[in-house]
Chain A
Amino acid sequence: MAATVLPPGTYPKDIGGESHTWLLSWVASVDHKKIGIMYIVTSLVFFAAGGIESLLMRWQLGTPENTFLTPDEYNQIFTMHGVTMIFFAVMPFLFGLANYLVPLMIGARDVAYPRLNAFSFWLLAFSGIMLYYSWIGGGAPNAGWYGYAPLTEHAYATSNGDSYYALALILSGIGTIATSINLIVTTIYHRAPGMSLRRIPIFVWMIIVTSFLSLFALPSLTGDMVMVLADRLLGAHFFDANAGGSDVMYQHIFWIFGHPEVYIMALPAFGVMSEVIPVFSRKPIFGYTFVVGSGVAIGFLSFGVWAHHMFTVGMTLTQDYFFSATSMAIAIPTGVKIFTWVATAWGGRIRFRTPMLFAFGFIAMFLIGGLSGVTLAIIPIDWQVNGSYYLVAHFHYVLFGGTAFAVFSGVFYWFPKMSGRMLSERLGVWQFWVMLVGFNLTFFPMHLMGLEGMPRRVYTYPDQLDLGGLNAISTLGSFILAVSIIIFIVNLWRSIRSGAPAGDNPWEAWTLEWATSSPPPAYNFLEIPVATSRRPLWDLAHPEDPDWAHEKEHG
């Protein structure tokens, strides 16, 4: 390659001249971009599986005392829906995006440990397959995604499902921990010249925080799952109260993982927002330091809020007050982020292309989930709504209205970089509006169901109050939501084959991933770029008013 003479602006296609079959070029790849795309494709497959499960649930709940599913089927399906969406759809998507983007954004050629990276992905993929194998291996897990002990003890869960659940979470957890270490080391040691930590894109900052959260939170989950397996398979008694075990201990250990987990699923979404909103507003992010600082604050605080999931387990009032106060406190940095995004768009010249539509959808919907989250931090209100459909509404406004809208924003934004082709704007706009309508019809009525006393995780409910009508609206909404996903799949399929060529930088964005070709060559950059500021491509286009000139006053 050293001897090759290239015309300016041309990138050599491959290094080393190895020729692989198409399949091998993916399966054997240690290229962070291919691994990132494999993560994303895997997550979309599991997203579809989890989506089908949710439609089955909504069909069952569409009318009171329906008999479409048996309780046993329903309990397996809602458990699989939760586990799938959290561990095999949302997390792999976000880590896939991080894998793809972090090295490009910081001007690196790959992650620090490419082989470890491939190992992490394959652990994830195979643990997901193993989880789904449980359907034919004697029954899927059926104790809910947080599998409260002692429901997973052998006495109460006699099928193999909960053993598959514990094993799958242990394995995928190891993959996540490894990939977190990889991303942390990459951002610390592989940044391009000039790319100081005060200049890296906010998405990268959020990935650093997310990776530290994973690194410290997931071992808790792994520990909990190892104890579950020991109880189930080796006759241990960690969670057997009759033998001195403690079921409250299970809840504590689970949520010490479980609440940082919420932010593992939210912070990368915040990162996507902080990239998309400035570019389409044609302005820099408003208050870089506060945005990064609030993300880091969320990271630290998220380890001190776990027991707000446990206001009804009979902790002392002192413990209740402590976790209530910390949970309210974490709303402050989260609020800062929302204010910041609005302020970034304020005074902009906003181009409402699809990524920006989804970004605004994100702010509008995530706000509702965030505010209902504050109501859950208030202990007495939590006593009423905990374990009810109000809670289901709340976390879907956070995870679908929030994270999923950010995911689609990110897909529309970076798909041109990954594939070299644009997604259809027309189908994108349709998808957005259908999704917004379907999402609100599905999940808004769930607030009211919770207020009317409907507990979550029930396979059916008596025909009383307005529960029948509210559930019917919700079921209708879920099928509209499914239509929006189908529009997305059609868009993806058509654009991969015949989308308009994207060019290197279709959105006139400013971060380094847009400084290379679309899709980027295996080695990312012909020459390692130099980061002159937070927006290197802005500096290039505006030598008269470069960004670095403003870094001192707005550090």
Chain B
Amino acid sequence: MRAASAPLAARGWVARRLAAAGLGGVFALLLPAAAFAAPYWAVLGDSPQARSIQHLFWIVIGVAFVFLFGIEGALLYVVFRFRARPGDEGDAPQVYGNRRLEVWWTIVPALILVVMFIFTVRAVGEETAVAPNALPVTVIGHQWWWEFRYPTLGVVTANELHVPVGRSIDFTLESADVVHSFWLPLLGGKEQLIPGQKNRWTFTVDKAGSYDGACSEYCGGAHAWMRLTLVADTPAQFEAWAKAQAAPAASTGASAQALRVFTQNACSQCHAIRGTTASGAVAPDLTHVGSRTTLGGGVLANNAGDMARWLENPQAVKPGVLMPDLHLSADDLSTLTAYLEGLK
């Protein structure tokens, strides 16, 4: 076999150059990707909980990189230093092991991991402590939308959650159907919503703004469009928002015809609009739907055009969504769009 490899060595040279070029290409693509792709929650974080995770992440990644570069470096060294040279066909000196070395490379990583574990316990403590004055919010996962209830404020809304900056939030997580997972990456971590179980979660947003989140446990059909938005308001803004949301519906587009369209097309069997007879409880509460920024769990923006698109045939916009195509007439469609968009 060794004899057959002589011409192969020449071909191997070409292959090696090509391989080097190929590998160079990979890193030319990957390194900028790694550098310029905003690693998001790994560098940003707008809650103490998210930053606590972030710090731990970099400590662990730092240690991991020491091992990564150490071992990959040793591999490269081995490749260049110990490769058999042409004509070098014998065996290497037979070394069977070194018990002392073996014991050391068992103990040292073990000690490092003990330290990591201590960091872990400390961080978990930081991230799970709920402040005494926390605002209770109940999150209920549905296929494929989010229901948010504020038991102390009498507010029920969907897919868009408002919280006051600087106040700890005490989330209770429940599910109406299958397992979901509540994740707002910039605010720290996630927790599952499980049927028949109440989970708890907490964070304190310390910067006003709008935050993206998503369901991150596969929950069937339209899992990809079970997204959510968290809006962090100043305490004054939040109070105004909560007051407006607790009030019954008042739409600029309200009319007897609008209500008739809403109730006669079965909308009201699933959706509720407080202040009307519509009181369905299996789909998002629409009392203030016009005040939200997105529709259909993040699949559309919330404006008159997109609302009309959604009402015309939700299945075309978000395949699999439980809302059926209602085959509304053009007239009913525009009446309903104006009514719903007016529910600020």
Chain A residues with CB below 8 A from B212, complex form = 453, 464
Are B38 and A384 within 8 A (Cβ)? no
Give the number of residue pairs across the A-B interface with Cβ within 8 Å: 326
B275 near A: Cβ within 8 Å? no
Q: What residues on A are CB-neighbors of B188 within 8 Å?
A: 383-384
Q: Is the CB of A281 within 8 A of B75?
A: no
Name the A residues within 8 Å of B214 (CB-CB). 453, 455, 458
- Name the CB-closest residue of A to B37: A466
Give the residue of A312, A374, A462 whose beta carbon is less than 8 angstroms from that of B60.
A374
How near does chain A come to B223, taking the closest CB pair, in angstroms? 6
Pair A71/B224 contact, Cβ less than 8 Å: yes
Q: Which of A75, A320, A381 has the most CB of B within 10 A?
A: A381
> In chain A between 128 and 170, which residues have their CB closer than 8 angstroms to a CB of chain B?
142-144, 148-151, 156-157
A84 interface residue (CB < 8 Å to B):
no
Beta-carbon contacts of A398-441 to B below 8 Å, as 1s and 0s?
00000000000000000000000010011001100110110011
Cα separation A70 to B214 with both chains bound (whole Å): 20
Please name all residues of chain B whose beta carbon is closer than 8 Å to the beta carbon of A345 when the two chains form the complex.
75, 78, 82
B199 touches A380 (CB 8 A): no
Known: A148-B218, A360-B75, A457-B223. A550 touches B96 (CB 8 A): yes
Question: Chain A's nearest CB lies how many Å from the CB of B162?
Answer: 20
Annotate B108-122 by CB proximity to A: 1 below 8 A, 0 otherwise. Answer: 011001001101110
Q: Which residue of A lies closest to B186 (CB)?
A: A453
What A residues does B332 contact at CB under 8 A?
none
Which of B38, B79, B94, B213 neighbours the largest number of chain A CB atoms within 10 Å of its CB?
Answer: B94
Which residue in A289, A331, A343, A384 is a CB contact (below 8 Å) of B101? A343
Contacts A312-B181, A379-B124, A383-B53; A151 near B220 (Cβ below 8 A): yes
How near does chain A come to B106, taking the closest CB pair, in angstroms? 6
Total count of chain B residues near the partner, CB < 8 A: 105
Chain A's nearest CB lies how many Å from the CB of B312?
Answer: 18
Complex formed: what's the CA distance from A150 to B180 in Å?
A: 11
Instruction: Say yes or no for B195: interface residue by CB 8 A criterion.
Output: yes
Query: Using a CB-CB cutoff of 8 Å, which residues 342-370 of chain A contact chain B?
Result: 342-343, 345-352, 360, 363-364, 367-368
Closest to B222 in A: A71
Binary contact track B68-89/A, C-beta < 8 Å → 1, others 0: 1001101100110011100010
CA distance A329 to B212 in the complex (A): 35
Does the CB pair B42–A332 fall under 8 Å? Answer: no
Contacts of B177-200 to chain A: CB distance below 8 A: 177-179, 181, 183, 185, 188-192, 194-197, 199-200
Known pairs A328-B116, A351-B84, A433-B19; A312 contacts B190 (CB<8 A): yes
- CB-contact partner of A286 in B4, B12, B96, B194, under 8 A: B96
1/0 per position for B1-32, CB-CB distance to A under 8 A? 10011001001100100110011011001100
User: Nearest residue in A to B195 (C-beta to C-beta)?
Assistant: A241
Segment with Cβ contacts to B, from A46-54, A444-452, A514-522: A444-452
Complexed CA–CA distance, A306 and B311 (Å): 45
Q: Are B91 and A283 within 8 A (Cβ)?
A: yes
Chain A residues with CB under 8 Å of B56's CB are 378, 380-381
Contact between chains at A350 and B185 (CB < 8 Å) = no
By the criterion CB–CB under 8 Å, are A350 and B38 in contact?
A: no
> Quick one: closest B residue to A288, CB to CB?
B97
Closest to B65 in A: A371
Q: Shortest CB–CB separation between residue B173 and chain A, in angstroms?
A: 8
Residues of A within 8 A of B82 (CB): 281, 345-350
Chain A residues numbered 32-90 whose CB sits less than 8 Å from any CB in chain B: 70-72, 75
A441 to B61 alpha-carbon distance, docked (Å) = 21
Determine, out of A110-118, A203-211, A242-250, the stretch whose residues face the partner at the interface. Answer: A242-250
Report A285-327 residues with CB < 8 Å from chain B CB: 286-290, 312-314, 317, 320-321, 324-325
Q: A148-B179, A328-B113, A343-B101 are in contact. Are A554 and B96 (CB under 8 A)?
A: yes
* Complex-state Cα separation, A485 to B211, whole angstroms: 42
Decide: B227 and A287 in contact? CB cutoff 8 A: no
Contact residues, B300-343 vs A (CB, 8 A): 319-320
> Which residues of the partner chain A approach B52 to less than 8 Å between Cβ atoms?
380
Query: By CB atoms of chain B within 10 A, which of A426, A458, A503, A545 has the most?
Result: A458
The answer to whether A470 touches B37 (Cβ under 8 A) is yes
Say whether A433 contacts B102, CB under 8 Å: no
- A388 to B4, alpha carbons, bound, how many Å? 49
Interface 0/1 of A371-393, CB less than 8 Å to B: 11011001111011011100000
Question: Which of A333, A437, A457, A470 interacts with B25 by CB under 8 Å?
Answer: A437
CA distance A252 to B124 in the complex (A): 22
Whole-angstrom distance from the CB of B258 to the nearest CB of chain A?
31
CB closest chain-B residue, reference A289: B97
- Residues from chain A with Cβ under 8 Å of B265 in the complex: none
Say yes or no: A156 contacts B117, CB within 8 Å.
no
Q: Is the CB of B179 within 8 A of A247?
A: yes
Expressed in whole angstroms, the Cα–Cα distance for A90 and B332 within the complex equals 56
What is the bound-complex CA distance between A333 and B102, given in angstroms?
11
A313 and B194 contact, Cβ closer than 8 Å, known pairs A150-B177, A429-B15, A452-B37: yes
Complex CA gap A247/B194 in Å reads: 7
Contact A332 B110 (CB under 8 A): yes
Kindly state whether residue A456 has any CB partner on chain B within 8 Å: yes
Asked, given contacts A346-B78, A384-B57, A453-B214, whether A440 binds B26 with beta carbons under 8 Å apart, the answer is yes
Chain B residue at minimal CB-CB distance from A348: B92
Nearest CB in chain A: distance from B180 CB, A: 10
Docked-complex contact A338 and B199, CB < 8 angstroms: no
- Mask of B32-66 contacts with A, CB within 8 angstroms, 1/0: 01101111111000000000110011001100100
* B295 close to chain A: CB less than 8 A: no
Nearest CB of chain A from residue B67's CB, rounded to whole Å: 6
A347–B42 touching, CB < 8 Å: no
A436 to B218, CA, bound (A): 30
Q: Are A455 and B60 in contact (CB under 8 A)?
A: no
Q: Are A336 and B216 closer than 8 Å at their CB atoms? A: no
- Note all chain A residues with C-beta closer than 8 A to B93: 283, 347
Q: Select one of B30, B41, B102, B117 contacting A451, CB under 8 A.
A: B41
Considering only residues 202-225 of chain B, those with a C-beta below 8 Å from chain A are: 212-224
- Chain A residue with the shortest CB-CB distance to B127: A380
Query: When the two chains form their complex, are residues A448 and B68 in contact, meaning their CB atoms are under 8 A apart?
Result: no
Residues of the B chain whose Cβ atoms lie less than 8 Å from the Cβ of A328: 113, 116-117
Q: Are B97 and A286 in contact (CB under 8 A)?
A: yes
User: Which A residues are in CB contact (< 8 Å) with B240?
Assistant: none
Residue contact A375 to B57, C-beta cutoff 8 Å: yes
Add 12 more A-B contacts to A283-B95, A352-B79, A457-B218 (CB < 8 A): A75-B223, A148-B179, A150-B195, A151-B220, A156-B220, A288-B96, A321-B120, A338-B71, A348-B78, A372-B64, A384-B53, A448-B34
Q: Which 9 A-B pairs have the closest CB atoms?
A: A241-B196, A383-B189, A287-B97, A458-B224, A314-B199, A241-B195, A387-B216, A455-B216, A554-B96
Sampled A-B contacts (19; CB under 8 Å): A75-B221, A151-B219, A242-B196, A290-B102, A313-B199, A324-B117, A328-B117, A336-B102, A336-B106, A345-B78, A352-B79, A371-B68, A379-B120, A383-B53, A429-B19, A441-B30, A455-B215, A461-B224, A545-B94
